[in-house]
Amino acid sequence: MRPRRSGYGGDDGLPVVMAIVNRTPDSFYDRGATFALGDALERVDAAVAAGARIIDIGGVKAGPGGHVGEAEETDRVVPLIAATARRHPEVTVSVDTWRAGVADAAITAGARLINDTWAGHDPELVEVAGAHRVGYVCSHTGGAVPRTRPHRVHYDDVVASVIDETTTLAERAVTCGVPEDLVLIDPTHDFGKNTFHGLELLRRVDELVDTGWPVLMALSNKDFIGETVGRPLERRVSGTLAATAWAAARGVAAFRVHEVEDTVDVLRMTAAIRGDVRPVAAIRGLA
């Protein structure tokens, strides 16, 4: 099946880059480097300049940690969303949340995409997206509770489970009013999965793309990459970029990342090898 055209792509022939900006003091990768509003805005500016078309703003660490209530999460994300929407109207602002109330406030502030990384844990979240006719990311967690780590998880077929859960949610999103071209499906590496599951999802990525829904992958510095190459958190960029090239060559439509510039280079090189884009400046042997 030919994938549906994503409403987030530009005209350059490249997959979309979604830049991660966390307003959390304990984020797993940047350790709170963008918790302060000014630091977060600097990160936004740099990501846009490097080629990000979506800015994904989150206010709660994905993994276990201190309790963050709905009001506190809202206070963390709304000012940054509003400022980003004003400064960069050309990009899509996304909110990374599993709470319908946070999403509603975020949309009022300027968000145009809900990144529901916990697979509809709050059943009203997709309804909020539909009511406002904004985009929605359909993820897969195998039923995991938000902010928990996987423990002895098992699937008879992890790819089949991902396809079933994400496409069912995608169809519900459209029924609720989300524009079809603003729906993305995300296999959600590491969430409710072990390293072997993560590798299987990449090995069989063609099956995800063949659903017809644009696929978003959040591979950046994940634990399954660290365990595969035997590297600690701060040394997983090469493994991330290798996985990104593999997925991009097989039709993944969008990537959620920390390293925007490096990712854009990988996507451009992969697309050029495929013949989808031309080199930026080709003069060797031609002049």
**Mean pLDDT, range 157-178, rounded to an integer:** 98
Both structure tokens of 5: 């055209």
Look up tokens 């959600």; give the residue. Answer: 188
In this structure, of 6-15, 137-146, 160-169, the range with the lowest mean pLDDT score is: 6-15
Domain ranges of the chain: 16-274
Question: Across the strands, what pairs with 22?
Answer: 58
Give the pLDDT confidence of 174-200 residue by residue, as tens digits.
999 999 999 999 999 999 999 999 999
**Mean pLDDT, range 119-126, rounded to an integer:** 95
Q: How many degrees, rounded to 5, is the angle at CA 148 between CA 145 and CA 154?
A: 80
Give the pLDDT confidence of 256-282 residue by residue, as tens digits.
999 999 999 999 999 999 999 999 999
In the DSSP assignment, the letter for residue 211 is: T
pTM for the predicted model, two decimal places: 0.96
Res 2: pLDDT = 47
Both structure tokens of 156: 């008879």
Res 214: pLDDT = 97
Q: How far apart are CA 87 and CA 83, in angstroms?
A: 6
What average pLDDT does the structure give for the chain?
95
Res 235: pLDDT = 97
CATH homologous superfamily, domain 16-274: Dihydropteroate synthase-like (3.20.20.20)
Look up tokens 């319908």; give the residue. Answer: 100
Q: Of all helices (H) and strands (E), which one includes residue 135?
A: strand 135-139
**Mean pLDDT, range 64-85, rounded to an integer:** 97
**Mean pLDDT, range 137-163, rounded to an integer:** 95
DSSP string, 90-120: TSEEEEE-S-HHHHHHHHHHT--EEEETTTT
Give the pLDDT confidence of 18-58 residue by residue, as tens digits.
999 999 999 888 889 999 999 999 999 999 999 999 999 99
Residues in the chain: 287
pLDDT at 125 > cutoff 50: yes
For the chain, helix, strand, coil in percent to 5 are 45, 15, 45
